[in-house]
Amino acid sequence: MPELPEVETVVRDLRPRVVGRVIRNITTGPRQLRTPWNDAWNDQLLGHRFLAIRRRGKWIIVELDSGSRLLVHLGMTGQLTAMPATEPQPDHLHLIFALDDESELRFRDVRRFGSARLLADEETLQELFTKAKLGPEPFQLDPGYFRTAVHKANRSLKAILLDQRVVAGVGNIYADEACSRAGLHPGRRGVRLTPAEVDRLRDAILEVIAHAIEHRGSTIRDYIGGSGLRGGFQEEFRVYGRTGEPCKTCGSAISRLVIAGRSSHFCPDCQRMNGRGAKSTSRIVKRSPRE
């Protein structure tokens, strides 16, 4: 579910609520997550204080005063929230940290694609990211690096954007929205893009992610921020989930195709496989025969 803007919103919401708090008690749910919770971690956490919370790609990192790092991934339906302990407990709760101000940090995940684990120190965390070859943050995306990364791939733009090794934090929604804003068909092969097109794509990624953060991310169904609030960027979607609805630029019906195994949305006239948009192409030509 959550991509960079949603994870960033969670972190910003949680920061004032958990930083400085001490863990008084830990409760685990009846069902295991993908990464099973190790009960030995409880002893390493109890009585310790949260020093900081930050994000890397779609990962949430909570720093403890012991130097250990709590690493959380929300998967598709994960929710990490902090609220008064008196708030009713929903189902599918997997972790509850009771804090020293009568509040609770809660991890809920219906589909259990998410994970939570404790790492010994910052070095262990960085090793994990290095081993996964986690790519740069979008706001640190060097144009030269990105041109090379896109151009050397004989796969679709959609697959490239979803690859966390190329750029960290982009998911299905913002891949589609970035392609839309760049006027590029998500099925275009990276190797066939011109440098100018790759630069356009990079600009579009930065723009859409910054814009989405301002709106507290997008809520399709499950996503809520660290305070329990929903996102608002779904109102700004140009293509995602708008199959059959008119393109906000040219009025053509938005198309949906499965690309790289994921549902992909685009305007068939503004985002053409041959690289030309509606303005520069005859209206009679509906689809490029190429690719």
The residues that are catalytic are 2-3, 58, 262
Between CA 78 and CA 72 the distance in angstroms is 9
Q: Which of 73, 106, 202, 216 binds DNA (CB under 7 A)?
A: 73
Closer of 132 and 285 to DNA (Cβ): 132
Whose Cβ is closer to DNA: residue 146's or residue 223's?
223
138 binds DNA (CB under 7 A): no
Fill in the per-residue mask, 37 to 56: x = in contact with DNA (CB under 7 A), - = not in contact: --------------------
Residue 255 pairs in a beta bridge with: 266
Q: Is 154 in the site for DNA (CB under 7 A)?
A: yes
**Phi, psi of 271, deg, nearest 5:** -125, 90
CB of 264 to DNA, least distance (A): 9
- Residue 219 as a binder of DNA (CB under 7 A): the answer is yes
Residue 112 binds DNA, judged by CB under 7 A: yes
**Site for DNA (CB under 7 A): which residue of 16, 38, 47, 111?**
111
Least distance between DNA and beta carbon 260 (Å) = 6
Work out whether 244 is an interface residue with DNA (CB under 7 A): no
**156 near DNA (CB under 7 A):** yes
Q: Does 76 bind DNA (CB under 7 A)?
A: yes
Q: Which two tokens stand for residue 255?
A: 């198309």
User: What minimum distance in Å lies between the beta carbon of 282 and DNA?
Assistant: 29
Does position 79 bind DNA by CB under 7 A?
no
Please select the residue that binds DNA; options are 11, 162, 201, 205, rule is CB under 7 A: 162
Q: Are 41 and 118 in contact (CB under 8 A)?
A: yes
DSSP string, the chain: ---HHHHHHHHHHHHHHHTT-BEEEEEE-SS--SSPPPTHHHHHHTT-BEEEEEEETTEEEEEETTS-EEEEE-TTTEEEEEEETTSPPPSSEEEEEEETTSEEEEEEESS---EEEEESSHHHHHHHHHHTT----GGG--HHHHHHHHHT--SBHHHHHH-TTTSSS--HHHHHHHHHHHT--TTSBGGG--HHHHHHHHHHHHHHHHHHHHTT---SSS---TTSPPP-GGGG-SSTT-TTSBPTTT-PBPEEEEETTEEEEE-TTTS-TTS--GGGS-TT--S-S--
The CB-of-20 to DNA minimum distance in angstroms stands at 29
Instruction: Tell which one of 121, 203, 207, 222 touches DNA (CB under 7 A).
Output: 222
Is residue 171 a contact residue for DNA (CB under 7 A)? yes
Residue choice 79, 180, 218, 255 for contact with DNA (CB under 7 A): 218
Q: Could you list the residues that contact DNA (CB under 7 A)?
A: 1-3, 6, 31, 57-58, 73, 75-77, 91-92, 110-113, 132, 152-156, 159, 162, 164, 171-173, 217-223, 231, 234, 260-263
